[in-house]
Amino acid sequence: MNKLSTVLLVDDDETSNFLHQRLLHRLNIADQVLVALNGEQALEMLAQRGTLFSPVRPALVLLDLNMPVMGGIEFLDAFQAMPLLQQQAVVIVVLTTSMNPRDLSHVNSLPIAGLISKPLTKEKLSALLEVHFPYLIPVS
């Protein structure tokens, strides 16, 4: 069965992280699910996990916008400044409750693969995987 090597959840909300981790584990779409509580931790995790060819490199980042220390928009700005080899093959999807037009306008100008409203569901995840990871076995 084909699976993603790693999914990185970036959210300061423990309940969201618990529910999203549980869904990802139940659907068995990744070998590993990591959690960062803010954008700064996420950048550190990405830097530690090497480049495109690293087997522990997150293939998918599910990113909240509103977090302390470093929010999602600041993370995206910093991610764009990372070396290209560290950016390649990372699909970033904003997963948020924020529908603030100012936030959405800025996010749409950044290199993200999509925007999904919380909570993450099997249906939303299936649609995301179908578009960005079509080689995966369909989520059942």
Residue with structure tokens 């037009």? 101
Please indicate, yes or no, if residue 132 is contained in any of the structural domains.
no
Please indicate, yes or no, if residue 133 is contained in any of the structural domains.
no
Is 15 in a helix, a strand, or coil? helix
Please indicate, yes or no, if residue 71 is contained in any of the structural domains.
yes
Task: Give the sign of the dihedral formed by CA 92, CA 30, CA 135, CA 23.
Answer: negative
- Parent domain of 120: 4-125
Q: What is the CATH number of the domain that holds 94?
A: 3.40.50.2300
pLDDT digits (tens, 9 = 90+) for 89-112: 789 999 978 677 776 777 777 789
Please indicate, yes or no, if residue 18 is contained in any of the structural domains.
yes
Domain count, the chain: 1
Asked if residue 66 has pLDDT above 80, the reply is: yes
Instruction: State the pLDDT at residue 52.
Output: 58
Instruction: State the pLDDT at residue 9.
Output: 98
Q: Give CA 16 to chain center in angstroms.
A: 13
Please indicate, yes or no, if residue 134 is contained in any of the structural domains.
no
Mean pLDDT rounded to a whole number for the chain: 87
Please indicate, yes or no, if residue 140 is contained in any of the structural domains.
no
Please indicate, yes or no, if residue 101 is contained in any of the structural domains.
yes
Asked if residue 21 has pLDDT above 80, the reply is: yes
Cα–Cα dist 94/73, whole Å: 10
Please indicate, yes or no, if residue 138 is contained in any of the structural domains.
no
Pairing of strands 30-36, 4-10: parallel
pLDDT digits (tens, 9 = 90+) for 24-47: 999 999 999 999 999 999 999 988
> What would the two tokens of residue 31 be?
């070998």
